[in-house]
Amino acid sequence: MKVLIIDDEKGIIKMYSEYFKMAGMQTLEASDGTTGIKLAKEQKPDVILLDIIMPRYNGLDVLKDIKADEEIKNIPVFLLTNLPQESSGGKAKELGAAGYLVKAENEPKMVLDVIRGAAANK
């Protein structure tokens, strides 16, 4: 299973990447939306984990562009952010996100369970 993590925070990428690799997954890493979309098109991951607050190209815009792209629009995108659900949860749902996870409240194990479930239902 292939997971793409788009996050500008290196520590976050490292942490999730480490955990998912230990669970036997292949991880792809992008520190901004443009690289993320490019990687998604090239590698066709099973799931995308996307941060919201990123410089220049925020996660909600990235999500909008992913959903507008025929090639990658069917890949489930989970917003993995530290913005509270109240702040962007509604918008994320409207744009077609598969889920909204607050990093601090969800340990890597919980995130892993969620994306495994999504990949199984795909």
Return the residue of 64, 108, 116, 117 that touches another protein, per CB under 8 A: 108
Task: By CB under 8 A, tell whether 120 contacts another protein.
Answer: no
Task: By CB under 8 A, tell whether 29 contacts another protein.
Answer: no
Q: Interaction with another protein in 59-78: which residues (CB under 8 A)?
A: none
Q: Quick one: tokens of 66?
A: 């992913």
CA 14 to chain centre: 14
Return the residue of 19, 64, 65, 93 that touches another protein, per CB under 8 A: 19
Structural contact between residues 44 and 72, judged by C-beta atoms closer than 8 angstroms: yes
Q: How far apart are CA 84 and CA 94, in angstroms?
A: 16
Q: How far apart are CA 73 and CA 97, in angstroms?
A: 10
Task: By CB under 8 A, tell whether 12 contacts another protein.
Answer: yes
- Residues forming the site for another protein (CB under 8 A): 9, 11-12, 15-16, 18-19, 22, 53, 81-87, 102-105, 107-109
